[in-house]
Structure 1
């Protein structure tokens, strides 16, 4: 089964209900909703600076990763989890889906990945900051962290890299929260972000759609229960093997990735 390893992920090429299509054509979105690029950039920068300024933050999330079958059917794999961050070098994250139940902890020196459903864990020495951890996990181990792009201290620069087109879509509501809805295009991906109104501009939803795979599979993550500062529940970033899990090498810790083991990755087009 082919899948897209998303980079920074709603699908182009899907059928659209006739009424929705007629409304879209009637509005002429690309013409009448002109992109105020400076304002859109300001909103993303404000979000980036707000998140980077929080020494402690936490959130819950629901994510959907789309994969494409050889016969061009798009399937969605859903998972949920929670992330706790203590800058500059501590993070704890969980992810539970239909095929994996994973906990990850990083104490500034050692990354531990525990497959709860496997009762097995691995440890990798990656001393440094959360930014360094994100880079290493993505580039060296092909294991991107949940919402990794948004957790970087320089997330604005990373998000805006290669952006060729910007659209301000006005307001949207995510989980009952009114947000600014912004859409961006680069050579390889389209991405959209919804940022909460007010003095706490946290992201409410982030969607990335691939342009290198037919039918445009996407990765979407919706956030909830944002907490910052003293409101963040204390977390343990040092691994404690309370379940007497078996330690294995990273390459032997099967069944903890974004895709089930029986899914086969194919080349992008």
Structure 2
């Protein structure tokens, strides 16, 4: 516990002093400092997630956005997620904003807004990983739990990692004992709470280092089930024939200015 308290104090001091306001290292800076215990915990979590052909969970995400007064406001979403590898995904999202539904049935991706009966539909790649990337590129659709449901979570999480260290154990998160680790790349600092026994993620807390507001987002995971045997219709919206059709496109404030080059 003393080590945990020391790391908390160091991290808090880093926020106050602005230690994390720029990348920790330049591209040609010091070599990565990856504590073996932290990496073992990350590998065990990734192996548990990758070993199942299907899973479902609940993800509650809290986002921070600066207020008019400066200090951030918090907004929340709740995602009910079903994964059936390699090519089926359903995400039902509610919370502070319009409720939305995302489906992928192995051939097509659908985004459905039930309140106004709006449906976007497009041909999709043959895997969940490729479909998530296509959805982001085409319509700025991104899920904060993406690294948990990809084929190889460890590969995605450890890419460009600069520092990783073990903090200690906690009994506060997820009604279980968790191992707490932290890791960073040049772009994001993450603190993770991972079940000590079941190796499942219970909380991920991230700060994007290129964000001048230092806004954070936090994902809390619960209701884990490492199995899925849902019917094909489960991964399609139920109003395909009667919904008003729209195109997949990013929100207006995320679109490139007219005439801009990629």
Equivalent-residue separation in structure 1 for 2:68 and 2:86 (angstroms) = 42
Structure 1 runs not aligned, ≥5 long: 1-22, 255-260
Asked if the contact 2:139/2:249 (under 8 Å) is kept, the reply is no
Matched, 1:59 2:67: no
Give the equivalent residue in structure 1 for 2:20: none
Equivalent-residue separation in structure 2 for 1:126 and 1:77 (angstroms) = 30
Asked if the contact 1:137/1:145 (under 8 Å) is kept, the reply is no
Equivalent-residue separation in structure 2 for 1:242 and 1:143 (angstroms) = 20
Equivalent-residue separation in structure 1 for 2:154 and 2:9 (angstroms) = 29
Structure 2 runs not aligned, ≥5 long: 12-32, 255-262
How many residues are aligned here? 228
Asked if the contact 1:78/1:97 (under 8 Å) is kept, the reply is yes
The 4+ residue runs of structure 1 with deviation greater than 6 A are none
Give the equivalent residue in structure 2 for 1:80: 78
Asked if the contact 1:72/1:214 (under 8 Å) is kept, the reply is no
Map 1:116-155; keep pairs closer than 5 Å: 116-155=114-153
Equivalent-residue separation in structure 1 for 2:67 and 2:52 (angstroms) = 41
Q: CA deviation at 1:71?
A: 5.3
Q: Secondary structure at the match of 2:75?
A: strand
Q: CA deviation at 1:130?
A: 0.6
Q: CA deviation at 1:28?
A: 5.8
Give the equivalent residue in structure 2 for 1:186: 185
- The structure-2 alpha-carbon separation of the partners of 1:27 and 1:193, relative to structure 1 and needing over 3 Å to count, comes to closer
Q: Secondary structure at the match of 2:212?
A: coil
Give the equivalent residue in structure 1 for 2:195: 196
- Write out per-residue CA displacement over residues 203-224 of structure 1, whole angstroms, 9 at most, x where no aligned residue: 0011111112234111211010
Root-mean-square deviation (CA, aligned residues, Å) is 2.7
Using CA pairs below 8 Å that are at least 6 residues apart, which structure has the higher relative contact order?
1
Give the equivalent residue in structure 1 for 2:27: none
Q: Which of the numbers 81, 97, 100 marks the counterpart of 2:98?
A: 100
The TM-score normalised by the length of structure 2 is 0.78
Q: CA deviation at 1:80?
A: 0.7
The TM-score normalised by the length of structure 1 is 0.76
Map 1:1-269; keep pairs closer than 5 Å: 29=10, 37-69=35-67, 72-172=70-170, 173-198=172-197, 200-229=198-227, 232=228, 234=230, 236-241=234-239, 244-251=242-249
- The structure-2 alpha-carbon separation of the partners of 1:233 and 1:100, relative to structure 1 and needing over 3 Å to count, comes to farther
Equivalent-residue separation in structure 2 for 1:243 and 1:108 (angstroms) = 19
Q: Secondary structure at the match of 2:249?
A: helix
